[in-house]
Amino acid sequence: MKKPLRVILLLLLIAAIGGGAWWYLHRPVQNDALTLYGNVDLRQATLAFNGSERIAGVLVEEGDVVKKGQVLARLDTSRLSPQVREADATVAAQRAMVMKLRNGSRPEEIAQARANLASAKADAANANIQYERRAALTATATISKQDLDTAKAAAAVADAKVEVAQSALDLAIAGPRAEELLQAEAQLRGSEAQLALIRQELEDAELIAPFDAVVRSRLMEPGEMAAPAKPVFSLATIGTKWVRAYVSEVNLGHVRSGMRARITSDSFPDRPLDGWVGFISPIAEFTPKTVETEDLRSSLVYEVRVFVADQDDLLRLGMPATVKLLPDAAPKPLPQSSGRKATP
């Protein structure tokens, strides 16, 4: 009887030890890592022409990768080009006028004014002599009063011409007035500003990529009338990406700026990406309809942006992603100059 009892006790001891070992190996492990679910987001921009004109050509397609400064589309410039030439000619003419006023009268013009004055003086002297002769003849009554009056008027006209010629010589020597020069210079600046405006309109006839990007949408085609309020392209930036996720108020205390994270997606489950918390919204909002969380019991959540180091460009806009925050990892250093969201 003792032997079977010992066997039973030994079996119970072995079972207890085995059960304890199994529980130890399969016990629930406390995991402090917080898991968030969200979607990939990135900076976007819609591009439109500054002017209203018909589109002459669209040079890129949806999905094309474009570089900063690349021409994406062009407007018809058949009306702008003649305006540029006209404004350029106006500026050249006005600039010549300013130079003329600055240089003053030429020596030849002064010499001509002196010659005109000498000629006017000679005519005046002759006219006065003729008048004096006729006045002397009135004593003998050999000349009529009408002839005398005519000679007197001719002498007066000649004297007046001398004054006009003298004034013309004085003006030629003095040159233009300062006010005339200032007026001409102001008109030149106005013409140059008009030319610059038209040239800028001609440059704006080309739609330029403001940064390296991917063409998301091609919204207009050649032949359509462009306008500042009508976008032609929708672009998405290359490089800066983040996962827009939401965390409930009870878990908000476990999230801090700079916290390291591990990001995975359904498309690349075996290629996790490194990231960090770059932005935590200071304002609570109601749970969006598109939010993906395991716990939807809380109606108020806070937006969190987890930036991703996606060197291989794996993630796409709107792609669902899983974010696992790593509280034990060293946080990413954040800029000290401002409290704005971090950028890669």
Residue pair 268/73 in contact by the 8 Å Cβ criterion: no
CA dihedral of residues 107, 108, 113, 117 (deg, nearest 10): 100
Asked if pLDDT for residue 104 goes beyond 90, the answer is no
The Cα–Cα gap between 37 and 19 comes to 37
| Beta-strand pair 233-248/320-325 | unpaired
The Cα–Cα gap between 327 and 305 comes to 16
Q: What is the pLDDT of residue 340?
A: 42
Share of the chain above pLDDT 90, in %: 36
DSSP, collapsed to helix, strand or coil, labels residue 244 as strand
Query: pTM for this structure?
Result: 0.58
Q: What is the mean pLDDT of residues 329-334?
A: 66
Q: pLDDT-based confidence at 339, cuts 50/70/90?
A: very low
Residue pair 123/202 in contact by the 8 Å Cβ criterion: no
pLDDT tens-digit profile of 257-286?
889 999 999 888 889 999 999 989 888 777
Q: What is the mean pLDDT of residues 185-209?
A: 94
Amino acid residing at 155: A
The candidate with the shortest Cα–Cα distance to 277, out of 334, 315, 338, is 334
Asked if pLDDT for residue 204 goes beyond 50, the answer is yes
Considering 3-12, 23-32, 174-183, 249-258, the range whose residues carry the highest mean pLDDT is 249-258
Tokens found for residue 307: 């930036």
Q: Which residues contact 92 (CB under 8 A, 6 or more apart)?
A: none
End-to-end CA distance of the chain: 77
> Hunting for tokens 């990529």 — which residue is that?
209
pLDDT tens-digit profile of 142-180?
677 777 778 888 888 888 888 888 888 777 776 677 788
DSSP, collapsed to helix, strand or coil, labels residue 329 as coil
Beta bridge partners of 325: 261
Q: What is the average pLDDT score of the chain?
A: 82
> Hunting for tokens 């000290």 — which residue is that?
336
Q: What is the pLDDT of residue 189?
A: 94
**Domains of the chain, with CATH numbers?**
35-42+240-325 (2.40.30.170), 83-199 (1.10.287.470)
Q: What is the mean pLDDT of residues 98-111?
A: 78
Residue pair 304/36 in contact by the 8 Å Cβ criterion: yes
Q: What is the mean pLDDT of residues 97-102?
A: 84
CA angle in degrees (0–180, nearest 5) for 235-207-316 = 10
Share of the chain above pLDDT 70, in %: 84
| Beta-strand pair 320-325/35-47 | antiparallel
Q: Which residues contact 102 (CB under 8 A, 6 or more apart)?
A: 181
